[in-house]
Structure 1
């Protein structure tokens, strides 16, 4: 089973972002790496100067490089940027919005988890449009994953296996609103929360995490104890989403368990130490609605 590192969803400092990918290139046992701004187009200029060096470093290290598109396109400049990305042709595109797939015109690409692929018909249609690999939305249960994989042998099926699950993208910026700022004059306050900003319920329970215009789950998805079932469901690749922790250690722990060098239980304990004080869940995979309330595996 392959490992894919998803794009950084948070607003990290440009040098931190660059050095993160440099270290992934040099030290991480990952097969594919997605790079690019998915959440907010206003962040793009900060990383553009570093992007060529990051792409070259990852390629030289033998990683399959994916360049990710925005997940929500609301402005004309975003539409143009997406069209330019689709037509560039130099890198394999990860499409996170259906309009990007239209611009690709049938050329080989990857479909990211922000495209709603909830049934076999959608997956088959995307494969017919040139999708080489489809990362399913993180909220799908194992039964649905197995059905989609069985019906779509022409495309690799990827599952979101680590990280706070991305749940929604909005046209409104939660970070800006919290700081009484307009979205167009947000002062990039989301950069103060490199792992997202926790949201509590009225009962003071951690519920969600906000990241600019994005909403994520508070609990961290962790499927390292479910790898055998995922393999039986014909899952070809696992997606690990960057969090503000030692992601190289996360990647290498998954790789060691996949290669049989460590038992899954040991891998789970190591991941809990690498990303501590965050609840861990596999409830989406197991079709459970229980809210995670404390560190450790929920369910």
Structure 2
């Protein structure tokens, strides 16, 4: 039996980067990043979409010409008629895979192949079977699942299972904009203040301990997930696809580092030390995959 080689996915940019910076980011990914799949699309806030939308066709064409598989990612929370129309238009896309980050988008796709995003709660074989039954060919699992559950879902899956492996984790989405409220602004008059925090806004506890991060209407982990030292274990469970979330760091170098570990060119401990230099302001965690609190960082044999 031929075992497929591991693949790297670059998830959609979750932050409010300037349109030109976002375009140039994807152009560099197309030209330089050693990733197999790239997600493009607004997941967090539809108010951001109009600024980058005119550039999407050029970005998709550039990525496809570079041999990358392109996936168009949907919003994670659909609340208005405009957002509903845009979701239906996205679901009707014929030539490009769509990632459903809201279960309603999965139903809109109407039996065509699609990708299930990590904000759709797939925690058991029954949910996975239902989604695959309506067309899901790849499922990116929520980050809080321990390795044992991941292994169970890999065995049950007919399609691909993807694991989040790097970056701040998208934990929840809200109708309210915490970023706007932090500046005493209403959501409708937010002045796009989320753009001031290209890696998210850290949130501290009353004891001044870093706790979470806020990105517009989205709650994220404060820590960066890093599964570099867990890749071998996950591959042994049958995982063949790993997602890297874009952060305001050198993502080309991050992708190269993960690729070197996956191919055995670099030891995971050495790579983990190198990742710290690439992300000097980050604190790392991998507790969930070990069945522990998500903010912990544990050695691979923990």
TM category (shorter chain) comes to over 0.9
Q: Secondary structure at the match of 1:161?
A: strand
Partner residue of 1:24 out of 26, 29, 42 = 29
Deviates more, 1:36-45 or 1:177-186: 177-186
Please tell me the root mean square deviation across aligned C-alpha atoms, in Å. Answer: 1.2
Aligned-partner SS, 2:155: helix
Whole-Å Cα distance in 2 between the matches of residues 8 and 290 of structure 1?
22
**Residue by residue, what CA displacement relative to the aligned partner does 1:241-271 show, whole Å, maximum 9, x if unpaired?**
0011001100010011111111111111111
1:239 aligns with 2:211: no
1:59 alignment partner in structure 2? 64
**TM-score, with structure 1 as normaliser:** 0.96
Aligned equivalents of 2:193 and 2:284: distance in 1? Answer: 27
Q: What is the aligned residue count?
A: 295
Which of residues 13, 22, 32 in structure 1 aligns to 2:18?
A: 13
Select the residue among 177, 181, 187 that pairs with 2:185: 181
Shift of 1:135: 0.2
C-alpha distance in 1, partners of 2:298/2:59? 35
* Structure 1 Cα separation of the partners of residues 174 and 166 of structure 2: 23
Q: CA separation in 2, counterparts of 1:199 and 1:208?
A: 5
Question: Residue 266 of structure 1 aligns with which residue?
Answer: 270
SS of 1:115's partner is: coil
Structure 1: stretches of 5+ with no match in the other structure: none
Alpha-carbon offset, residue 297 of structure 1: 5.9
- Kept in 2, the 8 Å contact 1:279–1:297? The answer is no
Which portions of structure 1, spanning 4 or more consecutive aligned residues, are displaced by more than 2 angstroms?
296-299
2:222 to 204, 218, 222: 218
* Deviations, residues 38-95 of structure 1 (Å, cap 9, x unaligned): 0000000010111111000000000000000000111111111000001121211011
Once residues 240 and 297 of structure 1 are traced to their aligned partners in structure 2, the CA distance between those partners, rounded to angstroms, is 19
Question: What SS is found at the alignment partner of 2:92?
Answer: helix
- TM-score, length of structure 2 as denominator length: 0.95
Q: Which residue of 2 aligns with 1:116?
A: 121
Aligned pair 1:229/2:198, yes or no?
no
The answer for unaligned runs of 5 or more in structure 2 is: 1-5
The equivalent of 1:42 in structure 2 is 47
